Amino acid sequence: MAEGVTDRLALPLLLAGQAQKEVTHNEALALLDIASCPAVESADFAAPPGAPMVGQCWIVAEGATGVWADHVDALAGWTAGGWRFVAPLMGMSAWVADRGHRVLWNGMAWRDEAVRADGVYQDGVRVLGPRGGAIADPVGGSVVDVESRAAVQAMLAALRTHGMIT
């Protein structure tokens, strides 16, 4: 890591005998404000928005342009002093407002979280949706197949145990 910055977030450190220490301290606080509880407007913008409000943040998308050009995947926060950027760290997550769920940094890319309000996703495909209604146990019929009925009941019991059905 570069000298004069913290090891993880690269926040600027105060140096002995440094003049105007408040400038360095305020810069560190601005970066920490972005990184400490990431909540972003979107992770799909490659260009800075035209009129950001102080405190708003984005994850810089691939193909970034303008002042974002050298900051792909970083958290970009608009401050009273302009844009500040924080590089993501392994395991960092951020709430993305326009997606309605979190994304996770795996060390290479931001990935949508698997568990979301509307279900569980695998490779972007919903594999488990909202909990369904009750399924009745098998009964009756003109031919009773004890083994089949027992297998179906075991499957229903497992689904109920895991909360997937009532």
SS3 25: helix
Is residue 11 domain-resident? no
In a domain, 125, yes or no: no
**Residue 156 DSSP SS3:** helix
Residues 101 and 139 in one domain: no
Measured between alpha carbons, how far is 40 from 88 in angstroms, rounded to an integer?
13
Domain assignment present for residue 10? The answer is no
Residue 46 included in any domain: yes
Total H helices, total E strands in the chain = 2, 10
- Rounded CA gap, 122 and 115, in Å? 9
Digit-by-digit pLDDT tens for the chain (166 residues) are: 567 767 676 767 667 776 777 666 777 777 777 788 899 999 999 999 999 999 999 999 999 999 999 999 999 999 888 999 999 999 999 999 999 999 999 999 999 999 888 888 888 888 887 777 777 777 777 777 887 888 888 888 888 877 777 7
The boundaries of the domain holding residue 51 are: 40-112
